Amino acid sequence: MLTLRTIAPRSHGVWRWPFALAVLLMMVMNGTVAEAATHLTPAPTVTSTALPPATVAATYSATLLASGGTAPYNWSLASGAVPLGLVLSSSGTLIGIPALAATNTVSVRVTDALGAASVATVTLLVHPAPAPPELVSVVTAAGQLVQEEASSQAISQSTLPAAPIVAAADVANGHGGWVVNSRGVVSGFGGAQSLGGLSTRRARSGVIGIAANLTGSGYWIATADGYVGGFGSVHASGTLRGLHHSDAVVAIAAAAHGGYYLLQRNGVVTGFGGARALGSLHARREHVVPVAISATPSGSGYWIATASGAIFRFGVARRWHLAGEAVSGTVVAMARASNGTGFYLLTDSGAIFPFGAVSHLAPMVLPVGDHAVAIAAAV
């Protein structure tokens, strides 16, 4: 601390009080003015409280903004945490690749060059990653595999072995699947490998269908006389072979809780394993020909499709409306959309009819003399 003695000169031992007072006044005034200058500059204010939304697994970058105060600004978290996968830099940039979908609210602090600071709440919405495009596969009796991506309608075509093919099943969460011929021989496509097939003796009445479990780790093969064989991680839970009052089996479908349904030509549905029958179609009374069955994602219902395109529903199966022109031609198969928002019907000419909130697909162009026999949908 300075004293008057160190500042004010003396003249013959007498203090020059006016000079001392003037210096002291200047010191006080300078300190007061400096302090006042600090407080006259307002603290910075955060202006970007709502950030652009982010998406899981997509690179994200956004910069926080502030006004007022004295630049440069320094940013930090006051409370809370930024979304997993993102970091907040001292310059105010939020950058990274979000890992989880959520609405995140955090408090951020902005501090200016003079140390003035303010805190504000910032919200960032992280959307789930978009679902991969659905791939619909149509298989012909001669082994032609035609695949169409639902979002872009990009079409690819290849040839499969083991003709004549009678049915196909998709691999869960993948762009592949299996086809089976009338003799019980299975071939994989799209990276899926055969897990085995029926012997000639088991397949003597003719194979009519194949159904994959929901994890894609196994499948069941069914024959016209009701025999079912399990391959991979699944096992047969029952069969209609040898039962006196059973009719020819025309389709098989996997159930959500494990097990499978068998649909007979007379419209009777039988559940095995975790599949519970919820009703049957009186085919003769309705004057229809059942050709396909598909279970709901919840496992508490199913649809039955007929050759004419009529749909019958049981349990909690929703009534999906045809999203286009009326069904024409002979329906040979159906496939539930992988997102559970509808299903597709396939006719022998390769025409695909969407029901519910599913994508419209271009008609498949089939080789002359060939006909479509199966359809599968997967993501």
- The 10s digit of each residue's pLDDT in 184-207 is 999 998 888 999 999 999 999 999
CA 3 to chain centre: 78
Q: CA 36 to CA 31: how far, in whole Å? A: 8
Q: CA 255 to CA 301: how far, in whole Å? A: 9
Q: Give the residue among 313, 245, 319 at the shortest CA–CA distance from 281.
A: 313
pLDDT of residue 151: 66
Sequence-ordered strand ranges (E) for 112-154: 117-127, 135-140, 144-149
Considering only the top CATH level, what class is 45-127? mainly beta
pTM exceeding the 0.75 threshold for the entire prediction: no
Q: CA 368 to CA 289: how far, in whole Å? A: 26
Task: State which of 10-24, 106-120, 131-145 shows the largest mean pLDDT.
Answer: 106-120
- Per-domain residue ranges of the chain: 45-127, 135-378
Q: Is residue 285 exposed (0-12), middle (13-18) or buried (19+ Cβ within 10 Å)?
A: exposed
Same fold, 45-127 and 135-378: no
Q: How big is the chain, counted in residues?
A: 379
Mean pLDDT, the chain, whole residue set:
86
pLDDT of residue 15: 44
3 state SS of 235: coil
Which range (33-37, 75-79, 154-158) has the least confidence? 33-37
Q: Is the pLDDT of residue 139 over 80?
A: yes
3 state SS of 104: strand
Residues 176-181, mean pLDDT to the nearest whole number: 92
Q: CA 185 to CA 196: how far, in whole Å? A: 8
Q: What tokens does 56 get?
A: 């899981």
Q: CA 140 to CA 373: how far, in whole Å? A: 5
Name which residue leads in pLDDT, 49 or 152.
49
Q: What percent of the chain has pLDDT over 90?
A: 63
Contacts of 153 (CB under 8 A, 6+ apart): 361, 362
Q: Is the pLDDT of residue 246 over 90?
A: no
Q: What tokens does 291 get?
A: 């050709």
Residues 86-95, mean pLDDT to the nearest whole number: 96
CB of 220 within 8 A of CB of 260? yes
Give me the architecture of the 135-378 domain, per CATH. 7 Propeller (2.130)
Convert the pLDDT of each residue in 321-360 to its tens digit.
998 788 999 999 999 987 778 999 999 999 999 999 887 8
